[in-house]
Structure 1
């Protein structure tokens, strides 16, 4: 049990004698089922315990939080990196059913993007764009579910800049692919709960070589952020067996576009050439003249 969890649980235990009868029921439920409580609304938690929603809000205030959302966020921060896939499936059943899966997931993704827009530091974003142009070589690493994000970012940046290397599992080890990383280079690490240990190790290795490190992750408390010079926050809160990568992908899209806007003429030339290649080698299906 980590120190943060101990601190939160300790607060509940210390304040327990002074809590009202209803608040004690909430406290007991959280102590036993904090993993489930973290993803319940105040109304849902109240129903599960048998108290009113207002009692849940007063309970959060009694613990020193400004409101229930703040307490809920604290609980989520504690457990999100510890949830197994099975636990995520069980928790998702509490707020997403077969009947409302589409609506529930889309609303969750919209909330993730909204929260990302509020949390992300615009100056840091500009510093990252600047660092991309200053780097001799750009290494991008994202493993497990973040592999798709790393490949996407690497594909488009390499079209624009031609000095990008996506690091991933293959014949060679991660560190062999980063053997020549130096202080002239930039390493971009992408990772979300549950964080891949190898990504964290790669960023630590990059730091040891004095390379500049950027983390694209969900929180400044993320282990990736601890190894980074710059951290771009993209919220990915979703208690299900599928990681929500919508907000992270939006941030990555913004990075690609920001880089592209500084290389407009080069991009125009590149894509003019690509269009010719795509048409010559039938890369895409085009409508016949009869269909136009």
Structure 2
């Protein structure tokens, strides 16, 4: 068992006898179902054990937290990288209808965007944009569910720059694709819980070659952040078997736009050429074309 988790569970056990009857019900529930409690609101947790929302708030205060959100965050930090897919599916059972799933997921994604706006470091963001232009080559890696994010970032940066490579599984091994990496290069690693070991290994390798390392991840406590010179935080909490990639994608969008704004003339020329190619080869449907 993780030491931090032991500490939190031990704290609840030590305080247990001094808790009120209602608070003891909360404590017992968290000790048995901490993975579910971490994603419940104070009202929902209270309803699950038959106590009021205010009792849940007082319980958090009794443990030394400033409020329930800080206790909830502590629980989430402990378990978010440990939940198996099966456990995530069980958490998804709270969405007991299609409409509830829609509302719940949209609200969760909006919260992730709001939290990201508050947490992200604007100076770091500017430094990352600067480093993109200063780097000789840019390598992007994101595996598992983060593959979509890496491909998206790579697709658009390749339209703006000519030194971008997305590293992925294929005919050659990932490290073979990085064999020529050097100090003047940059590696952007993208990863969210549960973090892919290979992504972490690639960032360590880049570190050993003294390349600039950028991590796009969910926390400064992330194993990707520990390997990075610059870390862009994007919240991805989702009580489901599906990872929430809305906030990370928004940060990546901002990164692409910030880079593009510095290369307006090149982008204009590139997209002008692409529009002609797309039309010539019928890449897109052109509704305004005259029907034959």
Give me the whole-angstrom Cα distance separating, in 1, the residues matched to 2:251 and 2:267.
20
Give me the whole-angstrom Cα distance separating, in 2, the residues matched to 1:289 and 1:34.
59
Alignment match, 1:250: 250
Which string of whole-angstrom CA distances, capped at 9 and with x for unpartnered residues, describes residues 157-202 of structure 1?
1111110010011111111111111111110000011111110111
User: What is the alpha-carbon root mean square deviation over aligned residues?
Assistant: 1.2
Give me the whole-angstrom Cα distance separating, in 1, the residues matched to 2:8 and 2:180.
44
Indicate the SS of the match to 2:126.
helix
Give me the whole-angstrom Cα distance separating, in 1, the residues matched to 2:273 and 2:131.
28
Moved more, 175-184 or 92-101: 92-101
Contact 1:184 1:211 in 2 (8 A): yes
Indicate the SS of the match to 1:219.
coil
Between the two proteins, the alignment pairs up a number of residues equal to 291
Indicate the SS of the match to 1:99.
helix
Give me the whole-angstrom Cα distance separating, in 2, the residues matched to 1:95 and 1:77.
23
Give me the whole-angstrom Cα distance separating, in 1, the residues matched to 2:178 and 2:289.
49
Alignment match, 2:69: 69
Q: CA deviation at 1:286?
A: 0.8
Indicate the SS of the match to 1:28.
helix
Indicate the SS of the match to 1:140.
strand
Give me the whole-angstrom Cα distance separating, in 2, the residues matched to 1:215 and 1:3.
26
Give me the whole-angstrom Cα distance separating, in 2, the residues matched to 1:24 and 1:7.
18
Which consecutive unaligned segments of at least 5 residues does structure 2 have?
none
Give me the whole-angstrom Cα distance separating, in 1, the residues matched to 2:95 and 2:123.
36
Indicate the SS of the match to 1:60.
helix
Alignment match, 1:231: 231
> Any residues of structure 2 matched to 1:1-292 within 5 Å, and which?
1-95=1-95, 97-290=97-290
Indicate the SS of the match to 1:102.
helix
Which consecutive unaligned segments of at least 5 residues does structure 1 have?
none
Q: CA deviation at 1:289?
A: 3.9
**Cα pair distance change 1:48/1:159, threshold 3 Å:** same
TM-score with structure 2 length normalisation? 0.97
Give me the whole-angstrom Cα distance separating, in 1, the residues matched to 2:97 and 2:223.
32
**Cα pair distance change 1:40/1:130, threshold 3 Å:** same
Give me the whole-angstrom Cα distance separating, in 2, the residues matched to 1:98 and 1:251.
28
Indicate the SS of the match to 2:123.
helix
Which string of whole-angstrom CA distances, capped at 9 and with x for unpartnered residues, describes residues 229-279 of structure 1?
111011111111111111100000000000000000111111111111111
